[in-house]
Amino acid sequence: MIFDTREQKIYHARHMSTRIVIDAHDFVNFTRSLHGKITLDECERLKDYLVDSQSNLEYIINGILGRDDKPMLQVIIKGELNLSCQRCLGKLSHVLNLKSTLFLVENEKELSYLDEDESVEGILATSDIDIIELIEDEIILNLPSSPRHRESDCLAKELTDSYAVEKKHPFAALLKLKKLH
């Protein structure tokens, strides 16, 4: 369900199985707002980036008119993801607090024009925007390219440090074993 923040009318989104689909023009023209929670299990493409899909994400999507009455979708996503550290391959908690503004464009030509300006994001204004796919796109675009723990927190540093000790003292491993027995 979508609640119109100005008139408190209820807007029903069309559902395709468990997906929520909106008409972009209708959503913006009536300044609709959609909010809710999704599980990471619903985000098929995002799973490739995750260690697990145990948490939930909260989202808010607002249809707004910007400067010069340009139609836009404001997308806010909050939650926590577990990524894989690229140094040690351990679990890395990544907090999401995304806020994006997407200009709605009518055709590919307008979209390619927007692509030239890296400070502006845009999507095609269609009558069937899948909310889960929109949320996934925004998360994937905002993930770190090489997620890593801070150096002091990374298991790779501990492994490197123990390797350095063993390299300096070839019998350090034997000394460790001797202390255990």
What's the pLDDT tens digit per position in 42-87? Answer: 889 998 899 888 889 999 999 999 888 889 999 999 999 999 888 8
What confidence tier does 18 reach under pLDDT thresholds 50, 70, 90? low
The pLDDT of residue 12 is: 39
- Beta strand 121-124 with 71-84: parallel, antiparallel or unpaired? unpaired
The pLDDT of residue 5 is: 41
What confidence tier does 15 reach under pLDDT thresholds 50, 70, 90? very low
User: 54-59 long-range CB contacts below 8 Å, 24 or more apart?
Assistant: 54/82, 55/79, 55/80, 55/81, 55/82, 57/96, 57/135, 57/139, 59/34, 59/35, 59/131, 59/135
Among 51, 57, 55, residue whose Cα is nearest residue 79: 57
The pLDDT of residue 98 is: 95
